[in-house]
Amino acid sequence: MSKLVVVRRVLEIIVTLVLVTLVTFFFTSKLPGNEAAVICGPAGPACLAKEGALLYLNHPFFPRYLHWLGNLFSGTFGLSAAPTEPIATLLKQSYPITLELVIFSQLIAIVVAVPLAMYSAVRPNKVFDRMSTAATFATLSLPAFIVGPLLRYFFTVKLPWFPGAGSTMPSIGVNPAQNLYVMFLPSLTIAVGSIAVYQRLLRADMIATLEEDFIVMARAKGLTTWRILFRHALRPSTFTVMTVGGVQIGSLIVGAIIGEQVFGLTGLGYQLVLAVTKADLPTVQIITVIVAVAYILMNLIIDFLYTVIDPRVRRARTT
Partner 1 sequence: MSRKRHVRDIDDLEDRPLLEVENLKTYFQTGHGIVKSVDGVSFDLERGRTLAIVGESGSGKTVLSRSVMGLLPPQNVIREGRVRFGDVDLTNASPQELRGLWGAQISMVFQDPVTSLNPVVRAGRQITESLRYHLAMSRQDAKETAISLFRSVGIPEPENRMQWYPHQFSGGMCQRIVIAAAIACGPKLLLADEPTTGLDVTVSAQILDLLNRLQQERYMSVIIVTHDLGVVTGRSDDVIVMYAGQVVERAPTTTLFRDARMPYTEALLKSAPRLSNPSHTRLHTIPGNPPNPANLPKGCRFAPRCPYVQPKCREEEPPLRQAEAPRHWYACWYPVGTPEGVRALEENQAAGVPAAMGVV
Partner 2 sequence: MPATLGAAIFASDPTLRDDSVAVGRAWYQGLGWGFWVAVAVAVIWVLLAIFAGVLPIQNPDTINFNCLGSGAGPSASHLLGCDTIGRDILSRVIYGSRVSLIVGFASIALSFVVGGPLGALAGYFGGWFDEVWSIVSTVFLSFPSLVLGLVIVSFLGNSEFDIVLIIAIVAWPLLFRVVRAATIEYSQREYVLAAQALGSKRSRILLKIILPDIVPAAITYSLVGVALAIVGEGALSFLGQSVGPPIPTWGNMIAAGMTQMPQYLNLLLAPAVAMFSFILAINFIGDRLRSTLDVREGVL
Instruction: Give me the least distance between CB of 70 and partner 2, in Å please.
Output: 21
What part of residues 289-308 is at the interface with partner 2 (CB under 8 A)? 291-292, 295-296
Residue 142 CA: distances (Å) to CA of 136, 138, 192, 193, 222? 10, 7, 9, 8, 43
Which H or E run includes 49? helix 45-54
Report the distance separating Cα 167 and Cα 190, nearest Å.
19
Residue type at 97 in one-letter notation: I
Does the protein bind partner 2 through residue 264 (CB under 8 A)?
no
Q: Check if the beta carbon of residue 267 is closer than 8 Å to that of residue 97.
A: yes
Report the distance separating Cα 152 and Cα 165, nearest Å.
8
Does the protein bind partner 1 through residue 224 (CB under 8 A)?
yes
From partner 2, partner 1, none, interface partner of 222 (C-beta below 5 to 8 A by class): partner 1
Instruction: Give me the least distance between CB of 236 and partner 1, in Å please.
Output: 5
Whose Cβ is closer to partner 2: residue 57's or residue 276's?
Answer: 276
Among 57, 122, 234, 313, binds partner 2 (CB under 8 A): 122
Among 26, 62, 214, 230, binds partner 1 (CB under 8 A): 214
Burial of 78 (0-12, 13-18, 19+ CB in 10 A): buried
DSSP letter assigned to residue 123? S
Burial of 313 (0-12, 13-18, 19+ CB in 10 A): middle
Residue type at 123 in one-letter notation: R
Stretches 35-43, 175-183, 259-267, 310-318: which one binds partner 1 (CB under 8 A)? 310-318
What part of residues 144-203 is at the interface with partner 2 (CB under 8 A)? 144-146, 148-150, 152-153, 157
Q: What are phi and psi of 86, to 5 degrees?
A: -60, 130
Whose Cβ is closer to partner 1: residue 46's or residue 220's?
Answer: 220
DSSP letter assigned to residue 24? H
Binding site for partner 2 (CB under 8 A): 12, 15-16, 19-20, 23-24, 27-28, 30-31, 122-124, 137-138, 140-146, 148-150, 152-153, 157, 207, 210-213, 215-216, 219, 224-226, 228-229, 240, 243-244, 247, 249-251, 253-254, 257-258, 261-262, 272-273, 276-277, 279, 284, 288, 291-292, 295-296
Binding site for partner 1 (CB under 8 A): 212-214, 216-224, 227, 231-232, 235-236, 309-312
